[in-house]
Amino acid sequence: MRKLILLVCVVVSVSIISGSAQSGIIPTWEDPTGKVGFYPISNEISFYKNVDDAGEERGLTLQFVHINSFKLLTSFSFEFTADYNWDYSYADPFDLAAGMNARDHYVELSLVKPLSSFVSLNYQRVISSFEPEPINQFGLRLVF
């Protein structure tokens, strides 16, 4: 998990440094042959103060959403979504008196290969503190 957090910090640092002259926009690049390239789609960092429906405080969340397309002979998209929470989830949802988790996380790493303008193949790896081990997901994505 520490390596993943380090990776996120490096990606964020590079995006801030490389785009500082362009108001934080990550630049597009492509090699002269057109066979290798990087094309940013959406790169966002959000901070949330969480409150449940009853008005009770549910901690803080730091969220990263990075969706970028790249070309290595063919086009792919890489998606990274991560929520890092503080005092957000209950230690035992069926026994609220057990208190809150100090920290928890939920991370999705996705590799998407478009097959057409509306269908893609998707591989997703889910890493979270809610599951004892990572989960692999394979599927089809429909674009509307």
**The amino acid at 89:** S
How many whole angstroms separate alpha carbon 16 and alpha carbon 13?
5
Measuring CA to CA, which residue among 112, 134, 115 is closest to residue 123? 112
Is-contact 61 84, C-beta < 8 A? yes
Using the Cα atoms of residue 128, residue 133, residue 135 and residue 136 in order, give the sign of their dihedral. positive
Q: Which pLDDT tens digit goes with each residue over 6-49?
A: 555 555 555 554 444 344 578 888 888 888 999 999 899 999 99
Ordered alpha helix ranges (H), the chain: 2-18
pTM of the entire predicted model: 0.69
